[in-house]
Structure 1
Amino acid sequence: MVPGPVRDAPRPPASDVSGWVGFVGLITLLAYILFARSFPEISAALGFPNNLGRLSGPYSALLAMVLTGGAMAAWSVFVEKVHRNPTTGIDWDDRRAFSDVLDISITKLAGLWATWFIIAGLYCLGRWYWEGNYLFAMNVLGAAIIPLVVLSVPYVIWIDRVMTNPRDSSWHFGAMLIGKEAYDFEQVKKHWRAWIIKGFFTAFMISILPIGFATVVDTETSEILNNPVLLGVFLFEILFVIDVQIGTVGYLLTMRPLDAHIRSGNPYLSGWIAAFACYPPLAWGVLGNIINYEVNTADWAYWFADYPALLWAWAGWLVFLTAVYAWATVAFGIRFSNLTYRGVLTNGPYRYTRHPAYVSKNLFWWCATMPFLVTSDSLTDAIRNTAFIMAVSAIYYWRARTEEAHLLAEDPKYREYYDWMQEHGVITSRLAKLLHWANPRKGQGRMETQPAE
């Protein structure tokens, strides 16, 4: 899987995220899926009546996410001791008195509670949150709000007692609301970037938790093992479930003691536009309708139906692409989220390209849909579909560039990683060599690191 020249190259800078965290989450998730599939047999073996069947319901999917996140958080703290990392902004050996932080904590709690109230109001205004899959997310978040408010009090006071600077961005927003102390408006904007990201993507991720999970738990594998199409689709579902489950954990566990807090949200408007265009509700209009690339298309199973060997080969290729996509999420462990800087990731698939998820996802769409082949025999449909999927890929390229601009501005380690990838990455190094071959006067010396915008 890994070309020789890259395998033999010097290593990239050390990753801020251990590969073990995601692995622990993956094993936990797969173990629970196996348990959920085998629940009738387990109940029978223990002599218990089973009226539930397989545990494929939405709350079982939610429990899978909770167990997965809990296992990754436990590994991070008890094995890797990430709570001791200096990047947490916590000094556990310098604990302040309760009275010294009470005013700070009250201000911060005012900012947090006001933020949650505003986000809840935005949920109420968004009609799409109250239909379809989003209803499950609203039920979950609605049930969680009272415990969150209650538990936030001891949590904030506990953290403020050991934070090196408890007047963080949440405190600045609270100070702006209360009006008692001076606040930094840049910190207020930083606070809202982080919480808009959490509010928008958390609802979306929770809403899609049950979809693939039910399919994976309920599918009878004995019926699909000799069918490359059905087997391929089943494996796609498993890999997408892995991506969604671990990705959801990333949005929920943005906590300093786990060194998984959002250090900054993307400050570029172009990055937000590019990212939000790929998700509901904007995706329903932009990627769903305006640049729909699936008009009068079939898919790989249709076009290769008469070629069994090619069906198996193509299914394997698409499973590989989906596996890379899922691996890219697993590699983040508990730090996955869009539009954020939460440390620098240089291992896993990021050892070979800066954007493995975007590359594999777009290749999957091209190879699975084959938009240039149409059932209508219309050259116009073929041209339109191809042009529109190129537009989709361009949006993801745009997203990648804005993310790079954000990280290049934030962290010297990412600048070092960016330079290393320019020389040793599977895609970027070969492209650079191709350009150098085409024009030997270009590309001499080390490539300068500049923001993408």
Structure 2
Amino acid sequence: MTAIAPAPPTRPKSDVSSAVGLVGLAGLIAWVVFARSFPNIAEAFDLAVPRETLGGPNSALVGLLAAALPMAAWSVLVDKVHRRPSTGLDWSLVRSRKPDRGVTLVKLAGLWATWAIIACLYCLCRWYWDGQYVFSIQVLAYAAIPLVVLSLPYIFWIDRALVKQRDHTWHFGALLLMRPGWDTEEIKKHWRAWIIKAFFTAFMISIIPFAFRTVVTADIAEVMARPERVVLTAIEAMFMIDVMIGTVGYIVTMRPLDAHIRSGNPLLAGWVAALICYPPLVWGILGDGRAINYEQNAASWLHWLAGHDTLIAVWGGVLVLLTGIYAWATFAFGLRFSNLTYRGVLTNGPYRFTRHPAYLSKNLFWWCSVLPFLVTTGSPVEAIRNSFFLLVVNGIYFWRAKTEEAHLLAEDPKYREYYAWMAHNGLITAPLTKLWNRFRPRPAISVEATR
């Protein structure tokens, strides 16, 4: 347990303004409304196109742009994040510094080699060529050539302003080209960041078509006919917001937006705790017949509340609220959402109440939706098993939270201030911290220390 420092007088200022996530959310919602209304728009303008809602995967990709562009514009034009020292950029150098083509070319070699290795790994890992991942691989394949072409002017341009030109990518390129000066620790940092980006970007892109289509093609008349349909559709909408804003965060890791990955989590425990929650590891750990299964003979909340519309509406409202908090915890990051990374410190939005609103709301959602202590067989043993294994899942997320805290506490003094402030003032974190401190073991006091 990290010692609690004295709390600062005020909550530290967030590195991400609240408006960034809100304009991204507005852009996404605007595109969803347009996609749903497209049949009427096509009819009004007599367009020679199919009169169908735009719920396909390509439309979902446009939805990413609809969310990303407003966030990027707000970040630069209003928050002026490109001028922050945390970007590692000094734009005055563009006018005074002569281009160092040798450094830039080494960096390009490192970048392109990194992409080639990641492409080989995608090809070798079989799960990327089946099911939902097929779409993701297709998108990445189409993006490959444009990325290589655009990286040329981008790297030459950004290198002129970089304070530290020999960054992580340069060190990897220098290793490949056998240039002197490369450092092993810098190469580790380079690969931690790129493995995180490659692994999670492929996963997030793979799930956006389903999330987007479900919301865009929903029949409002059918949804409004039953309270449970309203609840389930609202939950899907929150899930879509989480997925699409989160995907933008993995894609837009750029220094001029101050959204670059400053460091990947160096703790092995952090990687293990995170990766077991995602494919392919999650396929062998969670679910029917696997090591951790908390839904055996559990029929979910709708089964137990069937026939009681008022209770369905109330209980469903709780589930929508929890999912809404989960989505809020994602879009509050704006352009900076991603697992296992340090990309600045977020202290506003739901993070003013607890340090881990997404994990807290997600785990409460599972308890409220699955109701693992109620089973169709009536077996108390099965109910205990389900409850025990859901507690195990809760423990995994607690473990994830602690490894993330350890990473950020080591990286940023602002996070240490935020950590201390939340321990004393957070609406949810403060009472939990006091409760933990009351029951945690006290350090033993030696006889010598009292003399």
1:322 alignment partner in structure 2: 323
Which amino acid is the alignment partner of residue 117 of structure 2?
Answer: I
**Contact 1:44/1:50 (<8 A) preserved:** no
Report the CA distance between 1:182 and its aligned residue: 1.4
Distance between the aligned counterparts of 2:370 and 2:311, measured in 1? 15
2:397 aligns with 396
Correspondence for 1:79: 78
| Residues 44-68 of structure 1: per-residue CA shift (max 9 Å, x gap) | 1112133150000001001100221
Match in the other structure for 2:243: 244
- Cα-to-partner distance string for 1:210-259 (whole Å, 9 max, x where unaligned): 01110101111122224221111000010000001100000011000000
Which blocks of at least 5 consecutive residues in structure 2 are unaligned? Answer: 1-7, 444-451
Aligned to 1:279: 278
Q: Give, as a single letter, the amino acid of the residue that structure 2 aligns with 1:158.
A: W
Partner of 2:196: 197
Equivalence for 2:144: 145
| Residue pairs, 1:4-403, within 5 angstroms | 11-95=10-94, 100-288=99-287, 289-403=290-404
TM-score normalised by length of structure 2: 0.93
Partner Cα separation in structure 2 for residue 435 and residue 402 of structure 1: 18
The residue aligned with 1:5 is: none
Query: What's the CA shift for 1:442?
Result: 7.6
| Corresponding residue SS for 1:80 | coil
Letter in 2 for 1:190: K
SS at match of 1:37: helix
Output the aligned Cα RMSD: 1.7
Work out whether residues 353 and 429 of structure 2, in 8 Å CA contact, stay in contact via their aligned partners in 1: no
Aligned partners of 2:179, 2:438: CA distance in 1, in Å? 63
**Measured at CA, do residues 438 and 72 of structure 1 come closer, stay the same or move farther in structure 2, by a change above 3 Å?**
closer
SS at match of 1:13: coil
Between 1:220-229 and 1:344-353, the stretch displaced more is 220-229
Deviation at 1:427, TM superposition (A): 2.3
Report the TM-score, using the length of structure 1 for normalisation: 0.93
**Percent same amino acid among aligned pairs?**
59
- Offset, 1:376: 1.3
Contact 1:190 1:265 survives alignment (8 Å): yes
For residue 310 of structure 1, report the CA deviation from its aligned partner: 1.4
Residue 111 of structure 1 aligns to which amino acid in structure 2?
G
The DSSP-based 3-state class of the residue aligned with 1:38 is helix
Give the 3 Å change call, closer, same or farther, for CA 377–172 of structure 1 in structure 2: same
Provide the C-alpha distance between the structure 2 equivalents of 1:292 and 1:52, rounded to a whole number of angstroms.
44
CA shift for structure 1 position 431: 2.4
Q: Which amino acid aligns with 2:23?
A: V
- Name the structure 1 match of 2:420: 419
Q: CA deviation at 1:95?
A: 1.6
Which aligned segments of 4 or more residues in structure 1 are displaced greater than 2 angstroms?
A: 96-100, 431-439
- The answer on whether the counterparts of 1:37 and 1:54 sit within 8 Å (CA) in structure 2 is yes
CA distance in 2, matches of 1:170, 1:188: 7
Which residue in 2 is equivalent to 1:450? none
Q: Which amino acid aligns with 2:198?
A: G
Are 2:43 and 2:51, in contact at CA under 8 Å, matched by a contact in 1? no
Provide the rounded CA distance (Å) in 2 between the counterparts of 1:24 and 1:404. 28
Distance in 2 between the 1:67 and 1:10 partners? Answer: 39
State the distance in 2 between where 1:32 and 1:138 align. Answer: 24
Q: What letter matches 1:402 in structure 2?
A: T
Larger deviation, residues 300-309 vs 199-208: 300-309
SS at 2:173 equivalent? helix
Cα displacement (A) at 1:353: 0.1
Is contact 2:21-2:333 (8 Å) kept? yes
* SS of residue in 2 equivalent to 1:100: coil
What letter corresponds to residue 60 of structure 1 in structure 2?
S
* In structure 1, C-alpha distance between the alignment counterparts of 2:286 and 2:403, rounded to whole Å: 19
